Structure 1
Amino acid sequence: MKKRLTAVVMTASLAVGLTACGGQEAGNTDVSGSVSTETSADTALESTEGDNKEPVTLSLYFWGNQTRNDLTQQAVDLYMSEHSDVIINVEFTDWSGYWDKLAATTSGGNMPDIVQMDYGYLNQYTSSNSLYDMTEFLNDGTIDTADIASSVIESGSVDGGFYAFSLGSNVPCFLYDMEIVKNAGVEIKEQMTLEEFYDVCETIYEKTGVKTYFDGGVNMATNICRADGKYIWDEVSAGEASSLTKFFAYVDKFQQAEFSISPEILVEKNPDVVESKPILDQTTWNDFAHSNQYISIASACGRELGISMYPTTGDAAVNPLFLKPSQFFSIASTSEHPKEAAEFINWFVNSVECNEILGGERGVPVNSKVRDALKETMAKSEETAVNVKIYEYIDSAAGVATPIDPPNPAGSTEAGTLLTTYVENVRYGKITPEDAGQKYIEEAKGIMEEAAKN
């Protein structure tokens, strides 16, 4: 029987409960987003010399960028210094290459011991029995959940099993260059409508000459569907094109505006990769992201950025904003050392020292005591005080957020890739929004129907 993920209802109460919100040898890291790793395994090996017990070696694989890799490596080094019987080899790549490589290693039977998992992919990996059921580690205390809301455990649970530990809370957000906004004399509301956003873009371009980036990806399409009270993949499965046609119409409207960045520059300055985002060099004044990405993006920009809620449509039936697990850690079902992997995950989530290193880069910590300790520590330092705004943003977002959508069904990844193709065709004027909506729905529905058969 096909597994179904326990739905996580994250409403305003989450502000109090959840937040206030195989192993490869290391190589040289680059900033392009290609596979890159670091490890301090040699240091750990030195500390185990003379011990009779052979050290356990774990592989850890995650998506991210250079900032995440550096912080994760620092945390791993600390863990290995405290656990001389464990060696952890770290490897990362960017989002675009992560899932292809994870699928390849999984099908080859050498999935890394610990993998970063996304809410949208959880069904796929549990249904193929690729993930280890960590329920035993909850029951025997290996994983301590005393200061963690039950909704966190529910978010990683499938058919009564526990397969993924949430590493933080995350909310879609809108980021902007505060200097450019100030120079233009405009004010960014806590949550703009897309119509208000359009007007702001016009003013900023008139006053400063800086262009705008409009998110034409699945996130914006999902946002517009949610504003209509709909779930994007239900709409596709039903062959209903109205909300997605509206999405394509917004893509077209913004692209035709003089203030919009050209499709050609978007290819060069890929907004999906932190190190190449157009906001970095002020080619654009804005960006669309998730709250846990703020630290990485601001760090890459070299300046503090403003943050507000993801825009919604002017005729929204409900607020489309939602809270979700930023990402999980899961253990491979093929791991030879699941208990040691679980012990590391427990430390990663529950250690104040670990999370002081991470600084909320993977989202606001799910452990309430860790969360309070970090917020207090950050506020004391001028260098980290800016990160407190992420905590405050999630508090505000939790007050208006509506329940998260179900996990993505089979075929949604391919359907999402197809959406990108249609968006590009709309941006280049090769197809009208109306035709794009109808034709996309027809093709995407076929993709998902075929995937459901497998």
Structure 2
Amino acid sequence: MHPATSPTAGTPAEPSHRTLAPRRRFLRGLVAAVVAAPLLFGAAACGDDSDAGDGKVKLSIFWWGGENRAKLTEDALALYTKKNPNVTFEKTWQANQGYFDKLATLTAGGNPPDLFQIDDNYLSEYAERSTVLDLNSYSDSGKLDVSKFPKSLLEYGVVDGKLAGVASGENTQGLVYNKTLLTRNGLPEPTTGMSWEEHIAWAEQVTKKTKVPGTQDPSADYKAFWVWLRQQGKDLYKGKDLGFDEADVTRWFELWKGARERGATPTPDVIHEGNASDVTKQLVVTGKAATSWVWVNQMPDLKKNTKDELGVVAYPGDPSGQWARAAMYWSVFKGSKNRDVAVDVINFLANDPEAVALLGTDRGLPSNLDLRAKVSETATDPAMKQSIQVETELAQKFGQAAQVPIKGHSKVKSELVKAAENVQYGRITPAEAAAQYVAACKSAIV
């Protein structure tokens, strides 16, 4: 119903640290309203045609993404209706920006969708407020078949013991590098398992030989910080609190301060460009760095924007620091009168061979491992095949799933950018930035 205006189809665009605070307060107020009037929402939920005597159901469904995702999703839903003629869909989709504002507005206004797309920025917040349906009983009964899911991928949808969302696909962190540049200059490719110091030393040599900075500075990238923390025996979160302290953040910032001083990374203005750009303009494809820190499933989008051959490996350090991350989830509104049908649609999108083939890897690599293998066999896009291959290899080395991020996660991410860039530009020391960052994070998660 709402055509997207943005070509991107990944995680919703992250608002800047300058606009996030009022937006967070806005969202909290809207989502809090759900708790205040649960009975109203249960009665007014969209798609309650199940009360009709003819047994027909109109299920409301809401997601974000670009036009390509919309077409793929609509094709898969049409296939569901073909196989289940009594079920039709009220489909709403929009561009990334503003999606969660709209979802909160719909929910607080008593007109929530039965089924909606969500990500790990907000899953805990919606689950803790009892906005989403606990899907454990459906998985226990077999009505929602998650038996072919990697264990850690399934666990990454659990909040306080409740299955709050089902992964629409799997993803993990990926270090993408310009293979053409390295080959042309007789340089070795990075490898999975190299230490962080080894990666920085490798990047320093790339800079010296090619005059292209060897690696984007990821000190502002929460994905890299999170993996590094897990390799130190820490985590981004521990229960309802942070899993790290000022000393950890200081060490992280000092690591990359040293890398910048050695010339392993670009200059601060170019680093900022990489921090602020979407996946299509990452430094590895604009030629301003030999590597970028992204998600593995973004390889096809990156490849579309460069003529060079790209490679991808795990982030540096022990690869068990990485895990099967849900690219995004499907969740069901707790008050929906069509909850059983909504769960059946999730089950269909995850486990029907035709539906999974239609959707491909748009929302991450298929969660069902058997069907993922079939998609890999039939994929014609080399970058997509490469993404699946790398993810499959890394899956053998994944560690235990991280807990789903807690309330305030978006602010934790954006404040890291602010703190890291203050260090990158030399405005404050790593220790000063770490103190400011931890204080901002503690405020965000209260």
2:227 paired residue number: 223
Is the contact between residue 179 and residue 308 of structure 2 (CA under 8 Å) also seen in structure 1? no
Q: Alpha carbons of 1:349 and 1:177: their partners in 2 closer, same or farther (altered >3 Å)?
A: same
Q: Alpha carbons of 1:287 and 1:137: their partners in 2 closer, same or farther (altered >3 Å)?
A: same
Is the contact between residue 153 and residue 170 of structure 2 (CA under 8 Å) also seen in structure 1? no
For 1:207, which of 191, 206, 209 is the aligned residue?
Answer: 209
1:31 paired residue number: 7
**Are 2:250 and 1:245 equivalent residues in the alignment?**
yes
- 1:30 is matched by which residue type in structure 2? S
Offset at residue 160 of structure 1 (A): 5.4
What is the percent sequence identity of the aligned residues?
A: 23
**Are 2:298 and 1:298 equivalent residues in the alignment?**
no
Give unmatched runs, 5+ long, in structure 1: 1-24, 37-51
Name the SS for the 1:191 alignment partner: coil
1:60 paired residue number: 62
For 1:390, which of 365, 374, 387 is the aligned residue?
Answer: 387
Number of residue pairs matched by the alignment? 400
For 2:441, which of 429, 434, 444 is the aligned residue?
Answer: 444
Is the contact between residue 174 and residue 309 of structure 1 (CA under 8 Å) also seen in structure 2? yes
- 2:230 is matched by which residue type in structure 1? R
Q: Alpha carbons of 1:183 and 1:108: their partners in 2 closer, same or farther (altered >3 Å)?
A: farther
Offset at residue 422 of structure 1 (A): 0.8
2:16 paired residue number: none
1:417 paired residue number: 414
Is the contact between residue 237 and residue 244 of structure 2 (CA under 8 Å) also seen in structure 1? no
TM-score (norm 1): 0.76
Name the SS for the 1:31 alignment partner: coil
2:375 paired residue number: 374
Q: Alpha carbons of 1:422 and 1:375: their partners in 2 closer, same or farther (altered >3 Å)?
A: same
Name the SS for the 2:280 alignment partner: helix
2:29 paired residue number: none
Q: Alpha carbons of 1:373 and 1:56: their partners in 2 closer, same or farther (altered >3 Å)?
A: same
- 2:170 is matched by which residue type in structure 1? S
Offset at residue 150 of structure 1 (A): 6.0
Alpha-carbon distance between aligned partners in 2 of 1:306 and 1:395, rounded to the nearest angstrom: 15
Offset at residue 349 of structure 1 (A): 0.4
1:435 paired residue number: 432
Alpha-carbon distance between aligned partners in 2 of 1:101 and 1:320, rounded to the nearest angstrom: 34
Alpha-carbon distance between aligned partners in 2 of 1:343 and 1:182, rounded to the nearest angstrom: 49
- 1:116 is matched by which residue type in structure 2? Q
CA RMSD of aligned residues (A): 3.4
Alpha-carbon distance between aligned partners in 2 of 1:282 and 1:70, rounded to the nearest angstrom: 32
Give unmatched runs, 5+ long, in structure 2: 14-53
For 1:232, which of 226, 233, 236 is the aligned residue?
Answer: 236
- 1:165 is matched by which residue type in structure 2? V
1:134 paired residue number: 135
Offset at residue 435 of structure 1 (A): 1.7
Is the contact between residue 251 and residue 426 of structure 1 (CA under 8 Å) also seen in structure 2? no
- 1:397 is matched by which residue type in structure 2? L
Is the contact between residue 147 and residue 368 of structure 1 (CA under 8 Å) also seen in structure 2? yes
Offset at residue 174 of structure 1 (A): 0.6
Q: Alpha carbons of 1:127 and 1:436: their partners in 2 closer, same or farther (altered >3 Å)?
A: same
